[in-house]
Amino acid sequence: MTISTITPLFPRQPVPALSVPSVGGSQWTLADQHPEHFSLVVVYRGLHCPICAGYLRDLDAKLPEFTRRGVSVVAISSDDAARAATAKEKWKLGSLTVGYGLDLDTARRWGLYVSSGHGATSAGVEEPALFVEPGLFLIRPDGTLYFATVQTMPFARPSFADILGALDYVIAKNYPARGEVTDPIDPARSA
């Protein structure tokens, strides 16, 4: 299988289609989400990642705060069904929707990085042969990107408390998505 090259996403532009099965048997599809303000898509590395465990437990604990702000939430990995179900149970992710089977080509269209496995992690779980690195996306109800962060490593992820605080400001002030310029930059303009 050949995986496409990374494609950058730009704020205020439509994001690629996204649909994955979720633990419990339902299909989670971005186009079917109708939040008041945003859909929050959190991409995690998979069952092998001990940092993901703590990160997603924090997200699960803060779900009521996101819901109160009109934000629907999903956590997605490229893990298979069994690994995703184990993560949801082992990490005690009670209410969090956990999607799995993120196709690596789709991950690349979302601007995500892919890593190769290097054996068992400190959690004692084997890394898959290939897996996706973390990303976090806020998508408006119209399917356009508002905010994105992608990483090449599991460390130093955005704090969900910080995101909640930012959402309060963004929603109250109708703050526009930034980073939207896609035209070539005239050096004289940036001086």
Scan for tokens 């995500």, then name that residue: 112
- 181 band by pLDDT with thresholds 50, 70 and 90: confident
Q: Which two tokens stand for residue 63?
A: 């779900």
Predicted pLDDT at 191: 60
Class of domain 19-26+34-171: alpha beta
* Residue 113 burial by Cβ neighbours in a 10 Å radius (0-12, 13-18, 19+): middle
**Sequence-distant (≥ 6) Cβ neighbours of residue 66 within 8 angstroms:** 40, 72, 73, 164, 167
Q: DSSP for 2-16, please give it.
A: PPPPP----TTSBPP
pLDDT of residue 5: 80
C-alpha pair distances (Å), 189 with each of 3, 110, 155, 178, 186 = 37, 29, 36, 17, 5
pLDDT digits (tens, 9 = 90+) for 32-80: 999 999 999 999 999 999 999 999 999 999 999 999 999 999 999 999 9
Tell which wins on pLDDT, 2 or 163. Answer: 163
The distance from CA 104 to its chain's CA centroid, rounded to whole angstroms, is 14
Q: Residue 148's closest CA among 116, 180, 101, 181? A: 180
Angle between helices 50-68 and 160-173 (to 10 degrees): 30
pLDDT band at 126; cut points 50, 70, 90: confident
Tell if the pTM clears 0.85, that is, is over it: yes
Query: What is the pLDDT, as a whole number, of residue 56?
Result: 98
